[in-house]
Amino acid sequence: MESSLKVPTMAELFAEGKQPEVLFWVGCAGSFDDRAKKITKAFIKILNKANVAFAVLGTEESCTGDPAKRAGNEFLFQMQAVTNIEVMNAYEVKKVVTACPHCFNTLKNEYPGLGGNYEVIHHTQFLKQLLSEGSITMEGGQYKGKRITFHDPCYLGRANGVYEAPRDLIKKLDAELVEMKSCKSRGLCCGAGGAQMFKEPEKGNKDINVERTEQALETKPEIIAAGCPFCNTMMTDGVKNKEKEASVKVMDIAELIATTEDL
């Protein structure tokens, strides 16, 4: 099935005089990180199946600048932002979907002030829309009754108040959604945000991802669901640290849906 992935680029569509409905912002993790690339593909399979008219920027996409900004380099952030905005505005992009909450937050909240005004949604919100329109059905039943806990990405949950879309999707899988003791607005960070992903943690008595994984494991889940490529990495490492990788999987919501749809 891999070869049948249809991934049109904005440049190709533009050459044909076409304009897609929505731009899929893949992001750096989604483009380069081995684990995150699987999430990207899962999401694209769903988009293909639902016949969504989308496109990616491909080689014209560049880092949103989020990690630079959170590290304190406002200058680099704005350079990145202005460059990306120029590209997107040239293609007259109206709507953007992304599977990365960091890209989501930056595009949605920090680009408008620099001239980039788009309707930006997270892929869990987009999938929920597809579901309610009937474009996807989620009938596989593969996750029926399975215990799934959802780890709220900070930049999706607290930062932007999106708590329900991912949960609604999990419930639609007929899975048993089990909540951690700190969830939603009190969800604990996985430890990757604020550019921590790219550096060693400061001295302490534990790694944050291990702490969060312990909280997740307390719910006795079969699957820890995530909605962010960085959370995914952190939680996967945490599960390995606890030597539970045989019994507990860390999966993105898009992957859950793609597998249940047998894509």
Partner 1 sequence: MHYLPQMLFALVLTIGIGFFIKNVSQLRRNIRLGRALQVNDNKSQRWKNMIKIALGQTKMVVRPIAGFLHIIVYLGFIIINIEVLEIVIDGLFGTHRIGLQLLSKPIYGFLIGAFEILAVLVLIAVIIFWIRRNGIKLKRFLSSEMKGWPKNDGNIILYFEVVLMCLFLVMNAADTNFQVLDSGNIVSQYIAPIFSDMPANTLHLIERSAWWLHIIGILAFLNYLYYSKHLHILLAFPNTYYGKLTPQGQFKNLDAVTQEVKLMMDPNADPFAAPAEDAVEPEKFGASDVTDLSWVQLLNAYTCTECGRCTSECPANQTGKKLSPRKIMMDTRDRLEEVGKNISANKGAFKDDGKQLLGDYISHEELWACTSCNACVQACPVSIDPLSIIMDMRQYLVMEQSSAPSDLNNMMGNIENNGAPWPFNQMDRLNWTSEN
Closest-CA residue to 160 (of 179, 178, 187): 187
Q: Write out the binding residues for partner 1, residues 61-100 only, by CB under 8 A.
A: 61-63, 65, 67-76, 78-80, 82-83, 86
Residue the block writes with tokens 């893949």: 26
Pairwise CA distance, residues 250 & 262, whole Å: 18
Smallest separation, CB 139 to partner 1 (Å) = 27
Residue 229 engages partner 1 in binding (rule: CB under 8 A): no
Residue 110 engages partner 1 in binding (rule: CB under 8 A): yes
Residue 204 engages partner 1 in binding (rule: CB under 8 A): yes
* Cβ distance to partner 1 smaller for residue 125 or 196: 196
Q: Write out the binding residues for partner 1, residues 141-200 only, by CB under 8 A.
A: 154-155, 158-161, 185-186, 188-189, 191-200
Token pair belonging to 243: 């030597």
Smallest separation, CB 125 to partner 1 (Å) = 14
Pairwise CA distance, residues 132 & 168, whole Å: 11
Smallest separation, CB 249 to partner 1 (Å) = 20
Q: Which one of 92-100, 101-109, 246-254, 255-263 is the stretch in contact with partner 1 (CB under 8 A)?
A: 101-109
Beta pairing class for 147-150 and 176-177: parallel
**At what angle are helices 229-241 and 34-49 packed, to 10 degrees?**
130
* Cβ distance to partner 1 smaller for residue 61 or 131: 61
Q: Write out the binding residues for partner 1, residues 26-45 only, by CB under 8 A.
A: 26, 28, 31-33, 37, 40-41
User: With the C-alpha atoms ordered 138, 144, 145, 151, is the resulting torsion angle positive or negative?
Assistant: negative
* Cβ distance to partner 1 smaller for residue 80 or 236: 80
Residue 15 engages partner 1 in binding (rule: CB under 8 A): no
**CB-neighbour burial class of residue 93 (10 A; exposed 0-12, middle 13-18, buried 19+):** buried
Amino acid (1-letter code) at residue 154: C
Amino acid (1-letter code) at residue 161: G
Smallest separation, CB 136 to partner 1 (Å) = 22
Judged by CB under 8 A, how many residues of this single chain contact partner 1? 72
Residue the block writes with tokens 């005004």: 117
Q: Write out the binding residues for partner 1, residues 115-134 only, by CB under 8 A.
A: none
* Strands across the sheet containing 176-177: 176-177, 147-150, 223-226, 249-252
Q: Write out the binding residues for partner 1, residues 45-64 only, by CB under 8 A.
A: 56, 58-59, 61-63
Smallest separation, CB 133 to partner 1 (Å) = 26
